[in-house]
Amino acid sequence: MSLTQDLKTRADQSAQKYPENIHNIMNNGIQSLRDSKLVSKALKKGDKIPEIKLPNAANRAISVQELLLEKKVVLSFYRGGWCPYCNLELKALQQALPDFEKHNATLVAISPETPDNSLSTSEKNNLSFEVLSDIDNKTAKDFNLAFTLPEDLIQVYNGFGIDLEKSNGNSNQQLPISATYIIDQDGTIIYDFISEDYKERADPEKIIKALNIK
């Protein structure tokens, strides 16, 4: 199955698992993001990316600009290893990695998790690409992707055992909107996928198609 199908299957299972009031809070969170028009302000195709230099899972600084000297970069912002939809996405991206490399592109994922938690995510999903830690969502803010969770959604996450303070190493309760970009070697965005709905992600098939067009 495609990533899109896998995500839908997961969402359908979740819809049956949790009570209506939980789904209402989560759906209201998505609608609140839509109402904020944050996506309209996010960096998109045609924009130049800011400088990105972040620690990887081994706490070694990685510069996206240096990677661009060799190849294009597929850049994926995800919420964290605690997010089942993110894990589905990361596994699908890993499977597509050979196809990205065929098109002279390298893959980089970014989340607000600490390097230790990024390492856990990387190991859990057997990832062979760079997973970078965007502490305090500084890079996500540069892309206009960061948002603060509403209080009722924080309580829902706490009920699920999701501790963002522990995961991200701060008390900001902020996450990035799920977003995927292809960055050309001159730093220009040539493809973007951004969605307020955390259950939606860029399908690798579409990323590969965009790489092929370029």
Secondary structure of the chain as H, E, C letters: CCHHHHHHHHHHHHHHHCCHHHHHHHHHHHHHHHHHCHHHHCCCCCCECCCCEEECCCCCEEEHHHHHCCCEEEEEECCCCCCHHHHHHHHHHHHHHHHHHHCCEEEEEEECCCHHHHHHHHHHCCCCCEEEECHHHHHHHHCCCEEECCHHHHHHHHHCCCCHHHHHCCCCCEEECEEEEEECCCCEEEEEEEECCCCCCCCHHHHHHHHHHC
Per-residue model confidence (pLDDT) at position 213? 75
Q: Would you write out the chain's pLDDT as a tens digit for each of its 214 residues? A: 699 999 999 999 988 888 889 999 999 999 999 999 999 999 999 999 999 999 999 999 999 999 999 999 999 999 999 999 999 999 999 999 999 999 999 999 999 999 999 989 899 889 999 999 999 999 999 999 999 999 999 999 999 999 999 999 999 999 999 999 999 999 999 999 999 999 999 999 999 999 987 5
Per-residue model confidence (pLDDT) at position 14? 87
Per-residue model confidence (pLDDT) at position 100? 97
Beta bridge pairs of residue 195:
178
- The tokens 């995800």 sit on which residue? 78
pTM (two decimals) = 0.94
Domain 3-213 has CATH 3.40.50.300: no
